[in-house]
Copies of this chain bind each other. A is one copy, B any other.
Amino acid sequence: MLVKGIFANMIFSKSFGYALRGVLYIIMAGEKKPMVQLDEIASELAIPRHFLGKVMKKLVKGGVLSSLKGPYGGFCTNEITMETTLLKLVDLTGEPEEFTSCVLRLRKCNAENPCPMHHQIESLRDQWQTLLMSTTVGDLLRKDMADFIKSISVI
């Protein structure tokens, strides 16, 4: 049987991927100049220009990045950027949504009245959330810089 992208295509939205790669690009390009422009980010990362603009705007509003309009404007990092967790990026890029307790989409499943898989899945969810909460943007850059830079680039 073909095993499709159970995790790969579902856990994170495209918007999240754009946000993460955008932030990482701004950090790296920002080492050589004060401001990084949307046009550059979008073309370097092959992300739709205006859509990326909306994603970046959310990050700025969320305090994860800073921006400046006008000539010599663009995006830059701030004191929050490197400490931003992946969970924060998920929150900022996703639409606000209700929390549905049962992953299997069964009704009335909760800790008191658990579905048969409740505890196993709860464990996985906890591991997942722990990973997202404990990993910051800065962590990603510290671990394996050389290969990583290639990873966010075009194709």
Contact = CB atoms under 8 A, between A and B. Distances in A.
Interface of A: 1-12, 14, 16-17, 20-21, 87-88, 90-91, 94, 96-109, 113-117, 120-121, 124-125, 127-129, 131-132, 135, 139-140, 143-144, 147-148, 150-155
B8 A11 contact: no
A102 B132 CA distance: 15
B113 A12 contact: no
16 contacts: A3-B87, A3-B99, A4-B91, A4-B96, A4-B97, A5-B98, A6-B125, A10-B11, A11-B103, A12-B104, A17-B104, A20-B106, A106-B151, A107-B155, A115-B147, A124-B131
A117 B105 CA distance: 28
Contact of A148 (B8, B116, B147): B116
B117 A131 contact: yes
Q: Of residues A6, A90, A128, which shows the largest number of chain B Cβ atoms within 10 Å of its Cβ?
A: A6
Nearest to A154: B107
Given A10-B11, A17-B104, A104-B17, A116 B91 contact: no
Contacts of A154: 107
